[in-house]
Amino acid sequence: MKTVNAEKFHRLYGVEKKRINYQDKDFADYALMVAVCAALIGFAYGPLHPMTLVGLPLCAFMLVTFPARHGVKWKVPIVLRRPQEIVYSLVHKVQNIKPQYFIALALLVAENALIAVTPNLPHHVAWMHTMAVGLFWAHFIFIACFRTVILAAHLMKKEHVRNVLMESVWKSNVERESRVVPEIFHAYCTGMLTHIVYLIPWYLVIRYANFSLVFMPATCVIAFVLQKYSVKNLNDWFYRDHWLGHNSEFDFVYLHGTHHDALPCALIGVAGNGYLEGFFRSALAFPIPFFNPLAAAFFYTGDVKVDMELHQYIPGVYPKLSREFLSVIQHSLHHYGRLEPYGFAINLDQPISAELKKRTSVLPDELKYSIRLDEQLNGYEWDSARFRWFLDLVNKYHDTPDVPPQEQAGELDARARG
């Protein structure tokens, strides 16, 4: 097991304050954050763009629901009390960028330069732009439909959802039966708004960059190679960025907090992001928006869909993770009130079935045994009373019939698998 530098992962320039929940005093900061999201949506997509027409009402909905869910206590926002925190947060993110990001950006710039100096080649830039826009919408519509099917599943099993959550730290959110449906809708809207903001960098690349049909075979191959290496160091990057999201008060309130403000289910999944956090991660961390649109659409769709499935921590509701998989990953505890683990927290270094071994064979060791990073950096213990509690919850509620028609769910899954 390699030795890791704790100072590298736990360096913090601003004020350190562990956070996992919003409070009434955060309303002014939350309102500013939502306003920034609205401004980004309007600027990037345009005032009459469908994404704007959906995104701005979602922003308004979030502003209304925060006081109803948390109350309001007026306090001077962090950005006015400590404006340097904005700079610190950006510095943290730039320091955490991996080489694949810069390589992908450089290749995009190089492709555009080559297109400009070789106008006689059949680049078919206009056709490539049309294809890119079509892929963008195909991705968004597919994920929105998948999320809506999941919404229907949770609404149709709302009593089951409530029963599960009543045995957890989410009890206060659903103690009154009348709050279950609003909480489910809040989770759905959280995922939708996060997704819209997350796609802004990709949309801007599609809008302002050119892509060549001539170069497409090479750029797609390069994209897959870069993504392969990006996945190898994904847990290192995620641990660092995620640790900041819970230990920097600014990063929690403005970036990551919304990801923990909604129910622990697939409805919230968008690559593990909060609203505004998704924009910065997509713009200053992941190489995907700079890839050829065909590769970008493939990776964006896979990342978001898998992340939705991996956040389904209400057992017995579609889309179900297998009991075995839930027993080898502990990110669930993070959404049930525990700060650690900060990494992906997968542990395949234990007896597993041949089927699970085959399904996870494509993962690099850095993800298969990602729990090791938490064990080294914060002394995390795999076999804990909290994890045994969650597995008991899974055993109690996992084996219930799926609500969505099997044909509909199967069709979605088949489309996602391609």
* DSSP letters for 160-228: HHHHHHTTSTTHHHHSSGGGHHHHHHHHHHHHHHHHHHHTHHHHHHHHH----TTTHHHHHHHHHHHHH
DSSP class of residue 11 equals -
pLDDT at 402: 59
pLDDT at 14: 84
Q: Nearest CA to 305 among 139, 93, 121, 132? A: 139
pLDDT at 4: 78
Cα angle at 269 between 265 and 272, to 5 degrees?
A: 115
pLDDT at 405: 41
DSSP class of residue 363 equals S
Burial 37-53 (b: 16+ CB within 10 A, else e): bbebbbebbeeeeebbe
Residue type, 131: M
pLDDT at 411: 40
How far apart CA 291 and CA 111 sit, in angstroms, is 11
Based on the number of CB atoms within 10 Å of its own CB, is 208 exposed (0-12), middle (13-18) or buried (19 or more)? Answer: exposed
Token pair belonging to 232: 């190898």
Q: How many CB atoms lie within 10 A of CB 60?
A: 12
pLDDT at 1: 54
How far apart CA 235 and CA 248 sit, in angstroms, is 19
CB 346 within 8 A of CB 369: yes
pLDDT tens per residue across all 418 residues of the chain: 567 788 889 999 988 999 999 999 999 999 999 999 999 999 999 999 999 999 999 999 999 999 999 999 999 999 999 999 999 999 999 999 999 999 999 999 999 999 999 999 999 999 999 999 999 999 999 999 999 999 999 999 999 999 999 999 999 999 988 899 999 999 999 999 999 999 999 999 999 999 999 999 999 999 999 999 999 999 999 999 999 999 999 999 999 999 999 999 999 999 899 999 999 999 999 999 999 999 999 999 999 999 999 999 999 999 989 999 999 999 999 999 999 999 999 999 989 999 999 989 999 999 999 999 999 999 999 999 999 999 999 999 998 765 444 433 344 344 333 3
Bin 108: left if φ > 0, else alpha if -120 < ψ < 50, else beta: alpha
